[in-house]
A and B are shown apart, each in its own frame.
Chain A
Amino acid sequence: MNQFDYRKLWLYMLLVGFAVFYLMPVYVLLATGLKSLKDVSVSTMWLLPTHPSFEGFEGAVKKLGPNLKNSFMLVIPATLISAFLGSINGYVFSKVRFKGDNVVFALILFGMFIPYQSILFPLIRFLQWVGLYNTIGGLILTHVVYGIPITTLIFRNYYMEVPDELVEAAHIDGAGLFGVYWRVLMPLSIPAFVVVVIWQFTNIWNEFLFAVTVTSSPVKQPITVALVNLAGSQVVQWNMQMAGALLTALPPLLIYIFLGKYFIRGLLAGSVKG
């Protein structure tokens, strides 16, 4: 009995150790963000602020506010549209089936392995051509298209676990192709939607390369790009940068905190019979 407890103790100490190590940067972000500019120095980096000040956060909100809004304008529609398209695709590839569907599915999955960098030039040319260059709309389109493979995969795997009879019963009872989707599959796939929303939200929010290339003017840029631009300006305002970084990291963090349990449940859904 005693032996068992010791093992548990060691395990928890190890876990706490990892957690501390992992959270150290966050501590520095928070501590520095709450200092006034004159208190910030490398020698006192690890110390808590002696005179806490919101100067850094105020500056960050003022400078990054519009970009924060841009990020939301980008990430919300892009996430919802790609989740919706993914679920429609998943439905078709799991329950509708057509000749050659496996080949098409494989080709779609292949899209996951195309590096962002390799398509930058054609992407920019295309967006200029359709008049979406330097707009949030252009970024939304890019992320929606780039999200199709992964969202399709997640939904298809989820729907494969849904018994065919649930779909067939609906067909017999009079539902058509879309009736089955709206009335049966979509309501059943809330866990898959949560997984996809978290995944896409985080990815699109944190994405930098597309954001910096597609949106060139600062007023159009999402917060990730603006944060980097903050670093480049004249004197390095450490406290404001740290506060800005925290601000930038906050939305995905909140999504995880609020939807996290559904995320785990969603990943496991279907693997265990209910």
Chain B
Amino acid sequence: MVKVTLQEVTKRFGKTTAVNRISVEIEKGEFIVLLGPSGCGKTTLLRCISGLEKVTEGRILFNEGDVTNLPPKDRNISMVFQNYAVWPHLKVKDNIGFPLKIKKKPTQEIETKVKWASEMLGITELLDRYPHQLSGGQRQRVAVARAIVMEPEVLLMDEPLSNLDALLRVKMRSEIKKLQESLKVTTIYVTHDQVEAMTMGDRIAVLKDGKLQQIGGSNEIYHKPTNLFVAGFIGSPQMNFINVEVKEEENILIVATSGLEIPLPPAIPIKKSEYILGIRPEDIHIKELPNSTRVTGEIYFVEALRSDTVLHVNTDFGKLVVKIPGDFDAKEGENISLYIDNSKIHLFEKESELSIL
């Protein structure tokens, strides 16, 4: 188990900056998820940590040791790739045993460890097969078994589940998380799937355009997004955004736009007048509740998911998406009253896109 420290890590390819001055401290045994849209630099950052890419600037430390310029094989890491990367010419047991064989471990030890790793992943009966005789899910298990067989100090995973079908993905999600907990190995996991990130990560690092946007637990990322991007990227359906002004009336700050006025809690640092109000779909209700703001509109689309119902409502200040738990009998074209929970609103500066509430 090591602590991984990234200090101002920067990676440039020619003139494009893929990773831009990222500094993170990853604790021993922590499961951290790098989350972001495609092209945000998350995979590049992972490859920098693995040593497959050389960093342009900055340092990478494992505990106190500087590994910035070490080749991958000297970092005591292992990696699981998106496309499995199991070697087609080797049987499952030889795939799993490969890292040990390279390090010239005695045959007896290789056998024991391969057995242990395959038991952890439940693939003992597949050991004598070739990869082409396996399903995608089984190949992924082989790849994970190969990654843990060396008991690495850092385990890197690059979208390991994105090639699996939906059901299997959910199953593997919990299995990988449990496996990591029992091995207590420091794990860095790359994904573009926010559900994976929320369910698996001890902490989530959200990236965009090579820059770290926010790092924190799922609770923090979801409820206290630091900027407009994080607020919009996390959560499904997406947070509602409304362009608003902030004005002062009778010593109370309120956000306002046509047909909407919401009082703000005191002590909010207000400078400019243009802001973006954010409210999550589940924080808009169809029953009145204390400290809420009523708005009206016309339903124009209903997503009946049965576990919950998503309403798209046209209002005076634009479209609002509302999520209500359970079945809800709504007809398109109907008028509806909505109640925005005043305590759940977010406010972002329009120019800097930073959150101030």
Please report A residues at the B interface, Cβ cutoff 8 Å. 163, 165-166, 168-176, 179, 183-184, 187-188, 274
Chain B contacts of A174 at CB under 8 A?
73, 99, 102-103
Inter-subunit contact A165/B83 (CB<8 Å):
yes
Inter-subunit contact A175/B102 (CB<8 Å):
yes
Inter-subunit contact A172/B102 (CB<8 Å):
no
Chain B contacts of A168 at CB under 8 A?
52, 72, 79, 81, 85
Q: Which residue of B lies closest to A189 (CB)?
A: B89
Q: How many whole Å from A270's CB to the nearest CB in chain B?
A: 12
Contact of A172 among B72, B83, B89, B132 (CB under 8 A): B72
Inter-subunit contact B132/A173 (CB<8 Å):
no
Contact of B132 among A169, A179, A274 (CB under 8 A): A274
Q: Which residue of B lies closest to A165 (CB)?
A: B85
Given known A171-B71, A172-B72, contact A179–B77 (CB-CB < 8 A): no
Q: Say yes or no for B233: interface residue by CB 8 A criterion.
A: no
Given known A171-B52, A172-B72, contact A163–B103 (CB-CB < 8 A): no
Q: How many whole Å from B92's CB to the nearest CB in chain A?
A: 15
User: What is the CA–CA distance of A27 and B330 in the complex, to the nearest angstrom?
Assistant: 87
User: What is the CA–CA distance of A274 and B90 in the complex, to the nearest angstrom?
Assistant: 16
Chain A contacts of B88 at CB under 8 A?
188, 274
Chain A contacts of B102 at CB under 8 A?
170, 173-175, 179, 183
List 30 interface pairs A-B (beta carbons < 8 Å), by A numbering: A163-B83, A165-B81, A166-B85, A166-B87, A168-B72, A168-B79, A168-B81, A168-B85, A169-B79, A169-B146, A170-B98, A170-B102, A171-B71, A171-B72, A172-B50, A172-B51, A172-B72, A172-B73, A172-B78, A172-B79, A173-B146, A174-B73, A174-B99, A174-B103, A175-B73, A176-B73, A187-B89, A188-B87, A188-B89, A274-B88
Chain B contacts of A172 at CB under 8 A?
50-52, 72-73, 77-79
Chain A contacts of B33 at CB under 8 A?
none
Q: Which residue of A lies closest to B74 (CB)?
A: A174
User: What is the CA–CA distance of A172 and B102 in the complex, to the nearest angstrom?
Assistant: 11
Contact of A184 among B52, B71, B79, B87 (CB under 8 A): B87
User: What is the CA–CA distance of A179 and B87 in the complex, to the nearest angstrom?
Assistant: 14
Please report B residues at the A interface, Cβ cutoff 8 Å. 50-52, 71-73, 77-79, 81-83, 85, 87-90, 98-99, 102-103, 132, 146, 150
> Which of B52, B103, B146 gathers most chain A CB within 10 Å?
B52
User: What is the CA–CA distance of A187 and B130 in the complex, to the nearest angstrom?
Assistant: 14
Contact of A173 among B51, B52, B83, B150 (CB under 8 A): B150
User: What is the CA–CA distance of A133 and B321 in the complex, to the nearest angstrom?
Assistant: 86
Chain B contacts of A184 at CB under 8 A?
87
> Which of A169, A176, A184, A187 gathers most chain B CB within 10 Å?
A169
Chain B contacts of A188 at CB under 8 A?
87-89
Inter-subunit contact A169/B73 (CB<8 Å):
no
Q: Which residue of A lies closest to B78 (CB)?
A: A172
User: What is the CA–CA distance of A166 and B71 in the complex, to the nearest angstrom?
Assistant: 17
Chain A contacts of B87 at CB under 8 A?
166, 169-170, 184, 188
User: What is the CA–CA distance of A163 and B132 in the complex, to the nearest angstrom?
Assistant: 15
User: What is the CA–CA distance of A169 and B50 in the complex, to the nearest angstrom?
Assistant: 10
Closest 9 CB pairs of A and B: A165-B85, A173-B99, A174-B102, A169-B85, A174-B73, A165-B81, A187-B89, A172-B72, A172-B79
Q: How many whole Å from B125's CB to the nearest CB in chain A?
A: 23
User: What is the CA–CA distance of A184 and B98 in the complex, to the nearest angstrom?
Assistant: 10
Q: Which residue of B lies closest to A176 (CB)?
A: B73
Chain B contacts of A187 at CB under 8 A?
89-90
User: What is the CA–CA distance of A163 and B81 in the complex, to the nearest angstrom?
Assistant: 11
User: What is the CA–CA distance of A60 and B88 in the complex, to the nearest angstrom?
Assistant: 48
User: What is the CA–CA distance of A170 and B90 in the complex, to the nearest angstrom?
Assistant: 13
Q: Which residue of A lies closest to B50 (CB)?
A: A172
Chain B contacts of A165 at CB under 8 A?
81-83, 85
> Which of A166, A173, A176 gathers most chain B CB within 10 Å?
A173
Inter-subunit contact B89/A163 (CB<8 Å):
no
Q: Which residue of B lies closest to A274 (CB)?
A: B132
Q: How many whole Å from B297's CB to the nearest CB in chain A?
A: 50
Q: How many whole Å from A151's CB to the nearest CB in chain B?
A: 21
User: What is the CA–CA distance of A175 and B99 in the complex, to the nearest angstrom?
Assistant: 8
Q: How many whole Å from A178's CB to the nearest CB in chain B?
A: 12
Q: Which residue of A lies closest to B75 (CB)?
A: A172
Q: How many whole Å from A176's CB to the nearest CB in chain B?
A: 7
User: What is the CA–CA distance of A171 and B98 in the complex, to the nearest angstrom?
Assistant: 11
User: What is the CA–CA distance of A176 and B71 in the complex, to the nearest angstrom?
Assistant: 9
User: What is the CA–CA distance of A109 and B88 in the complex, to the nearest angstrom?
Assistant: 30
Q: Which residue of B lies closest to A168 (CB)?
A: B52
Chain A contacts of B132 at CB under 8 A?
274
7 additional contacts, CB 8 Å, given A165-B83, A169-B85, A172-B72? A171-B52, A172-B52, A173-B73, A173-B78, A174-B73, A179-B102, A184-B87
Q: How many whole Å from B89's CB to the nearest CB in chain A?
A: 4
User: What is the CA–CA distance of A187 and B98 in the complex, to the nearest angstrom?
Assistant: 14
Chain B contacts of A170 at CB under 8 A?
87, 98, 102
Chain A contacts of B81 at CB under 8 A?
165, 168-169
Q: Which residue of B lies closest to A186 (CB)?
A: B89
> Which of B77, B102, B103 gathers most chain A CB within 10 Å?
B102
User: What is the CA–CA distance of A163 and B82 in the complex, to the nearest angstrom?
Assistant: 12
Q: Which residue of B lies closest to A177 (CB)?
A: B71
Q: How many whole Å from B44's CB to the nearest CB in chain A?
A: 13
Chain A contacts of B78 at CB under 8 A?
172-173
Q: Which residue of A lies closest to B101 (CB)?
A: A183
Q: How many whole Å from B223's CB to the nearest CB in chain A?
A: 37
> Which of A165, A175, A274 gathers most chain B CB within 10 Å?
A165
User: What is the CA–CA distance of A175 and B74 in the complex, to the nearest angstrom?
Assistant: 10
User: What is the CA–CA distance of A165 and B89 in the complex, to the nearest angstrom?
Assistant: 15
Chain A contacts of B71 at CB under 8 A?
171
